[in-house]
Chains A and B, each alone.
Chain A
Amino acid sequence: EAGVAQSPRYKIIEKRQSVAFWCNPISGHATLYWYQQILGQGPKLLIQFQNNGVVDDSQLPKDRFSAERLKGVDSTLKIQPAKLEDSAVYLCASSPRSAGNTEAFFGQGTRLTVV
């Protein structure tokens, strides 16, 4: 079974530039998550989709971050404009839609460095 695919693996940009990350979840998984993981910390949930609807985006900095999940499959996360503190690994995860099972499967992440 193919896992969660993310691209790019690495990205270096200057502050105030824009960047976009892409995620393709495991086939059939209805739930998709974007997490931000800063070095030395645990993953922080940015946004959760159930199919193509947003379930939770309470910790998404909406003045600069946006995410969409068209057709309930692939998703993109965008940062515009980037700040130095956005340097982190952005992890995409997906989860099957089964009652009581919220195990998340992660992609390898995109490591963003803002200089």
Chain B
Amino acid sequence: RKEVEQDPGPFNVPEGATVAFNCTYSNSASQSFFWYRQDCRKEPKLLMSVYSSGNEDGRFTAQLNRASQYISLLIRDSKLSDSATYLCVAGGSSASKIIFGSGTRLSIRP
């Protein structure tokens, strides 16, 4: 079983739609969770951290369910520029490794 699992997609949705991604992690000791965004042929960049209480950044909302060991990302009012691959990440303490999921591809159509 992979340490971090994601639906690879692709998700193809119209502009303005709401889209949600889920991710599960296997290591119950994981303490830090993130969503990264990766554009085609570019390096991953941090989109947002995921906190236990859930957090929101503009059109993006991230949630963590420790009991079920899953993380979610919700994108509202999607824009063409949101087209990218979204990588779910689980990590431990400051000295622990950061594990990436395989990514979910999102394509927003006009």
Give the Cβ gap from B75 to chain A, nearest Cβ, in Å. 19
Contact of A100 among B43, B93, B102 (CB under 8 A): B93
Q: B81: CB under 8 A from chain A?
A: no
- Interface range, A side: 20 to 34
Comparing A20-28, A48-56, A73-81, the segment that makes contact with chain B is A48-56
Cα A97 to Cα B94 in complex, Å, equals: 6
Contact of A43 among B45, B46, B87, B95 (CB under 8 A): B87
Q: B14: CB under 8 A from chain A?
A: no
Give the Cβ gap from A40 to chain B, nearest Cβ, in Å. 8
**Chain A positions 6-40 with a Cβ under 8 Å from a chain B Cβ:** 31, 33, 35
Contact with A along B44-59 (1 / 0, CB 8 A): 1110010000000000
Contact A106 B45 (CB under 8 A): yes
**Chain A positions 71-115 with a Cβ under 8 Å from a chain B Cβ:** 91, 93, 95, 97-109
Contact A43 B93 (CB under 8 A): no
Give the Cβ gap from B37 to chain A, nearest Cβ, in Å. 11
Contact A55 B49 (CB under 8 A): no
Contact of A101 among B32, B97, B101 (CB under 8 A): B32
Contact A45 B32 (CB under 8 A): no
Residues of A contacting B87 in the complex (Cβ-Cβ under 8 angstroms): 42-43
Contact A31 B93 (CB under 8 A): no
Closest chain A residue, CB of each to CB of B99: A45
Contact A42 B102 (CB under 8 A): yes
Residue among A98, A102, A103, A105 with the most chain B CB within 10 A? A102
Closest chain B residue, CB of each to CB of A4: B43
Residue among B87, B92, B97, B103 with the most chain A CB within 10 A? B97
Contact of B97 among A48, A97, A103 (CB under 8 A): A48
Contact B100 A42 (CB under 8 A): yes
Q: B80: CB under 8 A from chain A?
A: no
Residues of A within 8 A of B (CB): 31, 33, 35, 41-45, 48, 50, 55-56, 91, 93, 95, 97-109
Residues of B within 8 A of A (CB): 4, 6, 31-32, 34, 42-46, 49, 87, 91-103
